[in-house]
Amino acid sequence: MFERFQTAENRYDEINHKLSDPSVIANQDEYRKLMKEHAELEELVTKYAEYKKVNREISDAKEMLEEKLDREFREMVETELKEAQEKLEVIKKEMKILLLPKDPNDEKNVIVEIRGGAGGEEAALFAGDLFRMYTRYAERNRWKTEMLDSNPTEIGGFKEVVFSIEGSGAYSRLKFESGVHRVQRIPSTEAGGRIHTSTVTVAVLPEVEEIDVDINPNDLRVDTYRASGAGGQHVNKTDSAIRITHLPTGLVVTCQDQRSQHKNRDKAMAILRSKLYEIAQNEQSSEIAQERKSQVGTGDRSERIRTYNYPQGRVTDHRIGLTLYKIDDILDGDIDEIIDALVTTDQAERLGNGGIDSED
């Protein structure tokens, strides 16, 4: 493990030297490439420097303890040695996590699809609640959201809503949100005060570039139609809405929230690329998934992942057994505690299944 960190440090120093070279600065492509690699190595190098610093502190403390010291000073050095040793163990664990294979999609923007499931209007209302939760979370992170397609209901929910979130690391934070979200509450239309259970399906897809997915234009059927909202409240006078059918897979995507047909087509193509990319990824990883399922779930849209219980004010993530009694805060976008727990569990699970074991 330490050899890999030393190699990273050597490469980091080499890049620093190159970045001061006028010929490299003049070559914008090479300069950008080196800056990207520099940024990727920086966290490794910083952690390795921290490891070496604490290691030196431990060596120094041990040397001092070999000398004749008065009792009070010896106790102080022994305390510092113990603290440094404990800190070193934490750093070594963090170093192992840094060497885990990176998800190539982690830094990508995302496309989020939310669809009402069992529960009719109540499911549609909760789809609206989840839409607000994710957009509020995006606001907290200063990420940009953009509506791509929606099918609103007359009472304020969504049968389905598709939107993008643009921001650094968006996929790394939201990728575990895919699955079935269950809500338990008393609907406003329920005269008897009975608790109803409804479900909503969430899918989080990495937004991919054209170069990531090869789409044959001959495989597409593109239809145009007039966009309309709930109850016909919003009707365009032109056929600006787009429906694209990918004939080989039967996938159908629509986009009607942009004012121009051209923009709707671009957004629909972005959704289609992400869906085809997801299919390709699932096919590639199916064998791995057969051998080992992550504790935080498979990302399967049919998997029930979380329950939001309004009468008890609790939210439970079933994959990791985490229950929090702050449903209002969570639905207002305060979901970092859940996401941090999911990320930590995923890291621990990967470390325990063929992770970085060697400390040589």
Residue 119 and residue 84 share a domain: no
For the chain, counts of helices (H) and of strands (E):
9, 11
For residue 292, the model assigns a pLDDT of 40
Tell me the whole-structure pTM to 2 decimals.
Answer: 0.69
Residue 358 lies in a domain: no
Note whether 29 and 170 are same-domain residues: no
Per-residue confidence (pLDDT) for residue 194, from 0 to 100:
84
Based on the fold, state whether residues 188 and 234 are members of the same structural domain. Answer: yes
Is 204 part of any domain?
A: yes
> In terms of domains, do 88 and 154 share one?
no
Domain assignment present for residue 105? The answer is no
Q: For tokens 């080992």, what's the residue? A: 292
Please state, in angstroms and rounded to a whole number, the distance separating the CA atoms of residues 253 and 271. 7
pLDDT of residue 217: 87
Angstrom distance (rounded) from CA 110 to CA 2: 35
Kindly tell me if the per-residue pLDDT of 228 is higher than 80: no
Report the C-alpha gap between 57 and 84 in whole angstroms. 7
Q: What is the mean pLDDT of residues 9-23?
A: 93
Checking if the pLDDT of 154 tops 90, the result is no
In which band, very low, low, confident or very high, does the pLDDT at 198 lie, cut at 50, 70 and 90?
very high
Interval 41-55: pLDDT, tens: 998 999 999 999 999
- Predicted local distance difference test score (pLDDT) of residue 323: 97
Final residue in a domain of this structure, among 74, 98, 122 = 98
Q: Is residue 129 part of a domain?
A: yes
End-of-domain residue from the set 64, 98, 132:
98
Beta-bridge partner residues of 315: 308, 324
Q: Do 33 and 163 fall within a single domain?
A: no
Question: What's the mean pLDDT in 165-187?
Answer: 93
Residue 88 sits in the same domain as residue 118: no
Higher per-residue confidence, 208 vs 340: 340
Average pLDDT over residues 14-18: 94
Q: Is the same domain home to 80 and 168?
A: no
Which CATH number does the domain housing residue 52 bear? 1.20.58
First-last CA distance in the chain = 6
What's the structural domain count of the chain? 2
| Residue 300 in this model has a pLDDT that exceeds 80 | no
In this predicted structure, the answer to whether residue 279 has a pLDDT above a threshold of 90 is: no
Check which CATH number belongs to the domain holding 226 and give it.
3.30.70.1660
Whether the CB-CB separation of 96 and 70 falls below 8 Å is answered with no
If asked whether residues 93 and 150 sit together in one domain, one would say no
Residues 180, 57, single domain; the answer is no
CA distance 46 to 32: 21
- pLDDT category of residue 211 using cuts at 50, 70 and 90: low
Note the pLDDT of residue 353: 65
pLDDT at residue 143, as a whole number: 96
More confident residue, 138 or 98: 138
- Say if residues 1 and 358 touch (Cβ distance below 8 Å): yes
Asked if residues 319 and 342 have their Cβ atoms less than 8 Å apart, the reply is yes
Single residue among 63, 98, 133 that ends a domain in this structure: 98
User: In this predicted structure, what is the pLDDT of residue 301?
Assistant: 58
Amino acid at 147: M
pLDDT band at 127, cuts 50/70/90? very high
Residue 355 lies in a domain: no
Residue-range definition of the domain harbouring residue 158: 110-287+295-348
Same-domain status, 123 and 240:
yes
Residue 213 lies in a domain: yes
Residue 285's pLDDT band, with cuts at 50, 70 and 90, is low
Q: Is residue 92 part of a domain?
A: yes
Mean pLDDT of 15-22: 93
At 102 the pLDDT is: 80
- Residue 168 and residue 263 in one domain: yes
Residue 208 within any structural domain of the chain: yes
Statement: residue 326 has pLDDT above 70: yes
Q: Is the pLDDT of residue 346 over 50?
A: yes
Give the pLDDT of residue 224. Answer: 86
- Answer yes or no: is pLDDT of 299 > 70: no
246-275 average pLDDT score: 86
Sheet containing 314-317: give its strands across. 144-152, 158-166, 110-116, 196-206, 179-185, 304-309, 314-317, 322-324
Mean pLDDT computed over 199-225: 85
- Residue 231's pLDDT is 44
- What mean pLDDT, rounded, does the chain reach? 86
pLDDT of 139 strictly over 70: yes
Q: What are phi and psi of 14, to 5 degrees?
A: -65, -40
| Same domain as 91, residue 218 | no
pLDDT number for residue 307: 96
- Kindly tell me if the per-residue pLDDT of 310 is higher than 70: yes
